[in-house]
Amino acid sequence: YVVARSFQVGRTSVAAAITDPSGHPVGGVSVAADTDRLPPTRVHRTGVEVAAAAVAISGRLRDGRVSPR
């Protein structure tokens, strides 16, 4: 996952890529919040959860349960 604190002043974003069966990025999952609501102590936990969601969606693409549009 990636963390951005400079994209918007006062906001923190955490994101992870969704990949197709060949490993190419086809989308993403992200969470953004005011920095005071997403302090460094919560960023790691949020990153792990965002990354897990991206892996789950990527797995559905690999299994053919969803198709990229």
pTM of the model: 0.84
The pLDDT tens digits of the residues spanning 12-63 come to 999 999 999 899 999 999 999 999 999 888 999 999 999 999 999 999 988 8
Please report which residue ranges of the chain form alpha helices under DSSP H: 40-63
Q: Which residues lie closer than 8 Å to 37 by C-beta, 6 or more apart?
A: none
- pLDDT at residue 19, as a whole number: 95
Helix count (H) and strand count (E) of the chain?
Answer: 1, 3
Inter-CA distances, 51 with 9, 57, 60, Å: 24, 10, 14
- pLDDT at residue 62, as a whole number: 85
Tokens read off for 45: 């936990």
- pLDDT at residue 11, as a whole number: 93
